[in-house]
Amino acid sequence: MVFAIVLILLVIGSVLFHFLSPWYLTPLASNWSAIDDTLDITFLVTGFVFVAVNVFLAYCVYKFRHKKGRLAHYEPENKKLEIWLTVLTSIGVAAMLTPGLYVWADFINPPEDADIVEVVGKQWQWSYRFPGADGKLGTVDTRHTTTANPFGMNPDDPHGQDDVLVMGNLHLPIDQPVKMLLRSQDVLHDFAVAQFRVKMDLVPGHVTSLWFTPTVLGKYDVLCEELCGVGHYNMRSYVVVETRADFEAWLSDKPTYAESVSADSATVSADEVGPIERGRLLATSRGCVACHSTDGTSGIGPTWRGLFGKTEALVDGSIIVVSEDYFIESIIDPATKVVEGYAPIMPPSSFTDAEMGALIAYVRAL
């Protein structure tokens, strides 16, 4: 009897929890309401079975409880019952699977007018590439990947020259379908934005894809949803959905591949643009700005504003004052001295002495 009551309470509690708890899907911000519908159908079917099975169990526990002299009747076959159960189960399974197949058919067929954006994942950073004015992404190859060419762009491909490279956060125009091509440079990652109801694995050696149309202005978290190493939890960025005009303004500010090459190569010497500007260009083209802010807010890494001369606590308990030597060491070998409160996820980089000097000049000037 007690067991039967506990079962019934469990069922009532679960159903109430489902309807009363604040934890359900985040508000939808894309075209994928169909994905929410399939989830609701699955909840409905599995919820119905959950209630039916447990109520039946409680009934049996009570009805057929032990009584002296009462014997069980052995009935190994019951054709009628089996037919009923088979038919009902099939209907339930079909009701859960069929809508999903229709949604999947849409999911793998992006609209013709979808924009193309490439997403590049690596431990533990997201970056994005737009095809630029010619509408075509340039070819890439891991053999070209260096700290100076983090996207692995093929330097000889004319389509790649105008590609716009974005380290850090992504912006997208509202109401414009976008097809994302996903590429990983090291291990499995997974690109996921809860409000858009999209997620897809990034598989090294493959290009996977997904598409959606953002429908609500706002700023949404991009998470990696595939355990990809110690910095996994910190592999984040934002998607900002904004009006077409704001988006265009944002995009026009980003360097193209050709610009990032000239910013990085010796052709832009400090004499030409001054060391501070050269440092700024380097910090952008090498992707430092994805994790380090220059306005005093701390991001994935500490801010660079007021860095030199600052006292800093390290995770090993020691206290240091930020000097040029420490700055350089932090870049060449970031894992040796890790700032307290941050994850040891900064990728090591190498710079020439002149470049390092320009970076220092830039950070000092912030």
- Which residue of 198, 338, 361, 366 would you call a contact of ligand HEC, by CB under 6 A? 338
How far, in Å, CA of 127 to CA of 136, rounded?
18
Could you give the string, one character per residue 82-121, with x where binding to ligand HEC holds by CB under 6 A and - elsewhere?
----------------------------------------
342 binds ligand HEC (CB under 6 A): yes
Number of residues interacting with ligand HEC: please give it, by CB under 6 A.
Answer: 28
280 binds ligand HEC (CB under 6 A): no
Contacts 24+ apart (CB under 8 A), 198-206: 198/30, 198/32, 199/225, 201/226, 202/119, 202/121, 202/226
Kindly tell me the burial class for residue 245, based on how many C-beta atoms sit within 10 Å of its own C-beta (0-12, 13-18, 19 or more).
exposed
How far, in Å, CA of 151 to CA of 149, rounded?
6
Q: Which of 175, 182, 201 is nearest to 128 (CA)?
A: 182
Kindly tell me which of 210 and 359 has the beta carbon lying closer to Cu ion: 210
How far, in Å, CA of 165 to CA of 146, rounded?
15
Kindly tell me which of 14 and 323 has the beta carbon lying closer to ligand HEC: 323
Residue 340: partners with Cβ closer than 8 Å, 6 or more residues away: 312, 313, 314, 315
Kindly tell me which of 172 and 345 has the beta carbon lying closer to ligand HEC: 345
312 binds ligand HEC (CB under 6 A): yes
Please state the closest distance from residue 277 (CB atom) to ligand HEC, in A.
16
- Which residue of 300, 358, 360, 362 would you call a contact of ligand HEC, by CB under 6 A? 300
Kindly tell me which of 28 and 188 has the beta carbon lying closer to ligand HEC: 188
- Which residue of 110, 131, 160, 301 would you call a contact of ligand HEC, by CB under 6 A? 301
Backbone φ and ψ for 140, nearest 5 degrees, come out as: -135, 160
How far, in Å, CA of 358 to CA of 366, rounded?
13
Q: Give contact residues for Cu ion (rule: CB under 5 A).
A: 189, 224, 228, 235
Cα 21–Cα 23–Cα 27 angle in degrees, nearest 5: 125
Residue 178 near residue 172, CB atoms below 8 Å? yes
358 binds ligand HEC (CB under 6 A): no
Please state the closest distance from residue 342 (CB atom) to ligand HEC, in A.
4
Residue 284 near residue 254, CB atoms below 8 Å? no
Q: 343 touches which of Cu ion, ligand HEC, none (CB within 5 to 8 A by kind)?
A: ligand HEC
Site residues for ligand HEC per CB under 6 A: 124-125, 286-288, 290-292, 300-302, 307, 312, 322, 327, 330-331, 334, 338-339, 342-347, 349, 359
